């Protein structure tokens, strides 16, 4: 197969960046999209050119590293699939493929197709966890969780943190990402004590990072490689409303001093 | 000169760990805040260790080469995590999990370590539940279990087919909490390139910032490596493309013994390689073997479509060779049997590298609906990758390099032969012996990080008076110089071949000589062909760009360079071990029926290799004694 690639090249966050055109000749239909890029890169290197920078690691759809917009769609044309699981047989021979990085203010470009997604980690650090020390956890079976509830929590927890929801959203909102985490923990009794503070803190962190607000366009669900449902956004809105009624309490922002009593 | 002292406590197996924890010295809370430790890697072992040490009050500098700690390859583990909870009341116990693990590892692991692993396994589940890991549940709300990896009890806890993901996200969220509290400083997109050893003690690391290319020194009172396994030495493996041996190999060169490098597990059910440019192999869950029947055509070179081959001309070779276990024999046995039929020319698919995994019978017997419900997502994944519908024609599968049981040698305290250098998870050699049982790797990673290292490192820190060195200490500068020299040399290549082409060539050598089966002549041949390949690499590798910028090819070339060195050590170890045990099958040591022959008289030891500058590595042996179980022949006939 033969393709023409229109690839976004940008040397760094302050560089202007532009589309460049490369041929991708003699591509086998059994190659994954990333293997096709590997082949193109090998040829670029041997021609003395710099290879196209893109990110990937597990190449089996679970680590969330790969992040390409292909012909305008994050992770390409297939639903419920990350770029690394997209195969070239999916495309018609001789077509033009336009490849871009995630575009969002909160995701500055590092190079070519790689963006900085640390904003998502910072949102997690604001409250996407259960504060639990490793000493003396009670037996797992003393925390009863109905099967349906556990399954719903698992549906939400299966988010891979790739950021496609942000890239697919016209407002670059991280709502589906945040909603997935808040819903995962809100469906479990272990998440109960911190649920009010969590929703409030994660919402504030999302705003602070420069993500847009949710406009209910549902593009996030359409491009999510794990097909996470927008229903979780409704769950999150309910949790957030609860936090505006209840007193959310101070954020965990200030580092606690575990040794204060010894001072 | 390395001296191996396992520091295994004496006395009854059941109380070793409790007594050891009591005799270990503690660091008082107000002293912990003055101590800094470095954790490299954020998989199950690294993230659980870093978060727990932060929670205890130590200052932790944590490093990973991904953009986020959540992307470590633990995330890809599918099946589950074992624990001796005996919730099913089906006869499980700590003693039985201990025994299954020792036997599964073909009696090549330390009894005391394995017993401790089985002991803390129950705490791991409780801790993960507390962190909000959404384990599968029964209707009554209790934790669900399934059986896995051929054991006879149901002790595996799971989160659908994404157990590794959920356990890692649990540890990652604990890490996020400690980052928020300021106890852990996270350094993503940062790769460790060397270890700093001062007066024989690990005191820091040299890292490269992968965005700016800047090299820097980080110092601490102890260094913990949690950097995973090295299966990517075979080029094609089930590992993530970034998995590598660099951190452990650099530590080896600084004096940490490397143990049992030849113990590399091959997983029997992966999708076969289809073409030259393939980057990795995808695992298909082992659970498929519960219902699929494995076969090949009886006649070599039979190119007919599977549906045109009548029953009488099919060879159900696992059922034929192992009538008692059939398609459910353990991983190493199944993988080797596949190799045998493919070597005889009966393999199917491109290059004859494949066998059929056929669901026709179960579909006929139990209906398409049931098979779809049980394995639907796997069939979908298979179709996406191969373009074939496995409901209609049988799947093709082939073994693939998977987990590595070898790693840096550690004592009972998880400390390497370099004091102050601790090694956890897949990066160390302990616990799995010569073969790993399914669902045991997640258990070891979390046991090390949550419940073992945080105790044992305290003793080292309480009894060793070492202040952090200055970043411009001569030993730190020397480490920095080594990294600079190496980077410069990589960039000076002549530009005729890419790093990937060398990696592929090395993988080819290793897969043929040191893969599913090893033979003296093949290993000798590999040891002769690796040095010229390495020579060519250093003369001809094409690394574009510079060292002072973001440069993925430079990162990759550095990892390939270490694989090229490490490959020889792996072959030396395989050559020296004149027996067949677990995943290490030496063709010279088998019965007339092709079953492995272990040699407990001569090889019941851990092979720990010491680095020699400009020379063959020196072998040290840690004898393995079995006080509580009697080594028996593994037989599945």
Mean pLDDT score of chain A: 93
Q: What is the mean pLDDT of chain B?
A: 95
Average pLDDT on B278-283 reads: 90
The shortest C-alpha distance from A11 to chain B (Å) reads 9
Test mutation, A14, A83, A124, chain B, max B CBs within 10 A: A124
Question: B555 to chain A nearest CA, in Å?
Answer: 12
Give this complex's ipTM.
Answer: 0.95
B355, β-bridge pairs: B397
Q: Give the residue-averaged pLDDT of B249-262.
A: 98
HEC string of B112-180?
HHHHHHHHHHHHHHHHHHHCCCCCCECCCCCECCECCCCCCCCCEECCCCCHHHHHHHHHHHHHHHHHH
Residue B285 token pair = 């869950």
**What pLDDT was estimated at residue B276?**
80
B373-383 mean pLDDT: 86
Tell me the per-residue pLDDT of B449-508, one tens digit each, with 9 for 90 and over: 999 999 999 999 999 987 899 999 999 999 999 999 999 999 997 788 999 999 999 999
Lowest mean pLDDT among A142-151, A251-260, B213-222, B534-543: A251-260
What does the pLDDT read at residue A249? 60
pLDDT, tens digit, 9 for 90 and up, residues B284-308: 887 788 889 999 999 999 999 999 9
Helices (H), A48-174: 118-125, 147-157, 164-168
Hunting for tokens 């991708």 — which residue is that?
A24
CA–CA separation, B188 and A117 (whole Å): 11
**Closest Cα of chain B to A257: distance in Å?**
8
What pLDDT score does B149 carry? 62
User: Tens digit of pLDDT for each residue in B227-245?
Assistant: 999 999 999 999 999 999 9
pLDDT surpasses 90 at A248: no
Beta bridge partners of residue B191, listed in sequence order = B208
Measuring CA to CA, which residue among A114, A211, A117, A223 is closest to residue A168?
A223
User: Tell me: the pLDDT tens digits for A171-229?
Assistant: 999 999 999 999 999 999 999 999 999 999 999 999 999 999 999 999 999 999 999 99
Q: Quick check: B590 contacting A, CB < 8 Å? A: no
Separation in Å, CA B170 to CA A153, B128, B326: 13, 7, 37
Is some CB atom of chain B closer than 8 A to the CB atom of A20? no
* A15: Cβ contacts below 8 Å, ≥ 6 apart: none
pLDDT band per the 50, 70, 90 thresholds, residue A113:
very high
What is the mean predicted confidence (pLDDT) over B77-86? Answer: 93
Kindly report the backbone phi and psi dihedral angles of residue A82, in degrees, each rounded to the nearest multiple of 5, phi listed first. Answer: -85, 160
B495 and A CB contact within 8 Å:
yes
- From B33, which residue of chain A is nearest by alpha-carbon distance? A259
| Contact: B176, A190; criterion CB under 8 Å | no
Q: Pick from A191, A34, A199: which is nearest to B131 by CA?
A: A191
B177 touches chain A (CB under 8 A): yes
Residue A250 confidence (pLDDT): 55
Residue A256 has pLDDT above 90, yes or no: no
Of A28, A139, A191, the CB nearest to B275: A28
Confidence of residue B131 (pLDDT cuts 50, 70, 90): very high
Residue A30 near chain B (CB below 8 Å): yes
What pLDDT does residue A222 have? Answer: 98
Contact B603, B576 (CB under 8 A): no
Preferred mutation among A114, A129, A159 to probe B, highest tally of B CBs within 10 A:
A129
Q: How far is B173 from chain A (nearest CA, A)?
A: 5
C-alpha neighbours within 13 Å on the C-beta side of residue A23: 6
Measured between CB atoms, which of A48, A59, A87 is closest to B280?
Answer: A59
Q: Convert the pLDDT of each residue in B598-615 to its tens digit.
A: 999 999 999 999 999 988
pLDDT of residue B17: 98
Chain B: closest CA distance from residue A217 (Å): 28
* B280/A contact by beta carbon, under 8 A: yes
CA dihedral B168, B172, B173, B177 (to 10 degrees): 150
- B634 has a pLDDT exceeding 90: no
Report CB contact under 8 Å: B130, A160: no
Of A129, A130, A144, the CB nearest to B142: A144
Pairing type for strands A96-100 and A69-70 reads antiparallel
């Amino acid at each position: 197969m033969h393709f023409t690639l229109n690839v976004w090249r940008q040397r760094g966050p302050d560089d202007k960046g532009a589309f460049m055109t490369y041929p991708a000749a003699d591509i086998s239909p059994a190659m994954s999209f990333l293997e096709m890029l590997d082949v193109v890169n090998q040829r670029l290197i041997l021609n003395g050119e710099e290879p196209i920078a893109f990110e990937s690691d597990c190449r089996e759809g679970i680590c969330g590293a790969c992040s390409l917009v292909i012909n305008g769609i994050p992770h390409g044309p297939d639903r419920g699939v990350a770029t690394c699981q997209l195969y070239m047989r999916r495309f018609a021979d001789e077509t033009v493929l336009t490849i871009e990085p995630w575009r969002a203010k909160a995701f500055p470009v590092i190079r070519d197709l790689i963006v900085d997604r640390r904003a998502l980690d910072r949102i997690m650090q604001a409250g996407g966890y259960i504060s639990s020390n490793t000493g003396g956890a009670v037996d797992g079976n003393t925390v009863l969780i109905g099967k349906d509830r556990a399954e719903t929590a698992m549906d939400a927890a299966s988010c891979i943190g790739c950021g496609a929801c942000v890239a697919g959203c016209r407002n670059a909102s991280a709502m589906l990402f945040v909603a997935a985490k808040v819903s995962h923990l809100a469906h479990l009794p272990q998440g109960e004590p911190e649920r009010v503070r969590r929703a409030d803190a994660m919402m504030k962190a999302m705003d602070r990072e420069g993500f847009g607000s949710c406009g209910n366009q549902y593009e996030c669900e359409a491009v999510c490689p794990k097909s996470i449902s927008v229903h979780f956004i409704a769950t999150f809105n309910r949790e957030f409303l609860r936090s505006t009624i209840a007193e959310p309490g101070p954020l965990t922002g200030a580092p606690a001093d575990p040794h204060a009593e010894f001072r | 000169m390395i001296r191996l002292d396992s520091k295994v406590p004496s006395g009854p197996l059941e109380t070793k760990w409790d007594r050891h924890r009591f005799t270990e010295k503690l660091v008082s809370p107000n002293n912990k805040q003055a101590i800094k430790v470095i954790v490299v890697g954020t998989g199950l072992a690294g993230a659980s260790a870093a978060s727990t040490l932060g929670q205890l009050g130590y200052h932790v500098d944590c490093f990973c080469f991904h953009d986020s700690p959540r992307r470590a390859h633990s995330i890809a583990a599918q099946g589950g995590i074992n624990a001796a909870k005996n919730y099913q009341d089906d006869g499980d116990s700590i003693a039985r999990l201990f025994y299954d693990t020792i036997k599964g590892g073909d009696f090549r692991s330390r009894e005391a370590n394995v017993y401790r692993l089985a002991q803390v396994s129950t705490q791991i589940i409780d801790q993960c539940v507390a962190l909000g890991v959404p384990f599968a549940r029964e209707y009554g709300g209790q934790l669900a279990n399934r059986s896995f990896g051929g054991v006879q009890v149901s002790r595996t806890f799971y989160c659908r087919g994404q157990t590794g993901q959920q356990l890692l996200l649990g540890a990652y969220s604990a890490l996020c909490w400690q980052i928020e509290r300021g106890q852990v400083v996270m350094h993503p997109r940062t790769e460790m390139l060397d270890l700093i050893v001062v007066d024989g003690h690990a005191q820091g690391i040299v890292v490269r910032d992968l965005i700016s290319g800047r090299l820097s020194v980080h110092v601490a009172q102890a260094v913990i490596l949690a950097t995973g396994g090295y299966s990517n030495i075979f080029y094609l493996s089930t590992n993530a493309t970034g998995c590598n041996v660099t951190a452990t190999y650099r530590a080896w060169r600084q004096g940490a013994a490397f143990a049992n490098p030849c113990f590399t597990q091959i997983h029997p059910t992966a999708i076969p390689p289809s073409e030259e440019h393939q980057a990795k192999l995808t695992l298909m869950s082992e659970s498929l073997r519960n219902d699929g029947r494995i076969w090949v055509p009886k006649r070599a070179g039979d190119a007919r479509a599977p549906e045109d081959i009548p029953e009488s001309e099919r060879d159900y070779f696992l059922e034929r060779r192992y009538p008692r276990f059939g398609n459910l024999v353990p991983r190493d046995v199944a993988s080797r049997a596949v190799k045998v039929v493919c070597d005889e020319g009966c393999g199917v698919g491109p290059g004859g590298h494949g066998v059929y995994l056929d669901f026709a019978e179960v579909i006929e017997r139990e209906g398409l609906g049931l098979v779809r419900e049980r394995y639907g997502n796997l069939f979908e994944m298979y179709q996406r990758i191969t373009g074939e519908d496995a409901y209609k024609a049988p799947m093709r599968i082939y073994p693939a390099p998977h987990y590595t049981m070898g790693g840096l040698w550690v004592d009972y305290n998880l400390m390497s032969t370099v004091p102050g250098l601790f090694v956890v998870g897949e990066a160390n050699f302990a616990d799995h012996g010569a073969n790993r049982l399914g669902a045991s790797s997640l258990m070891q990673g979390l046991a090390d990080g949550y419940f073992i290292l945080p105790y044992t490192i305290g003793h080292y820190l309480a009894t060793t008076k070492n202040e952090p060195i200055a970043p411009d200490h001569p030993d730190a500068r020397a480490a920095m110089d080594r990294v600079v020299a190496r980077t410069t040399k990589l960039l000076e290549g002549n530009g005729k071949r890419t790093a990937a082409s060398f990696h592929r060539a090395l993988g080819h050598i290793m897969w043929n000589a040191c893969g599913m089966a090893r033979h003296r002549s093949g290993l000798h041949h590999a040891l002769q062909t690796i040095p010229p390949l390495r020579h060519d690499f250093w003369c001809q590798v094409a690394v574009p760009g510079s060292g002072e910028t973001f440069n993925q090819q430079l990162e990759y070339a550095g990892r390939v360079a270490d694989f090229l060195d490490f490959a020889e050590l792996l072959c030396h170890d395989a050559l020296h071990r004149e027996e067949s045990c677990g995943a290490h099958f030496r063709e010279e040591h088998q019965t007339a029926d092709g079953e492995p022959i272990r040699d407990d008289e001569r090889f019941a030891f851990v092979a720990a290799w010491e680095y020699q500058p400009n020379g063959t590595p020196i072998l040290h042996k840690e004898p393995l004694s079995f006080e509580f179980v009697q080594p028996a022949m593994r037989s599945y006939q």
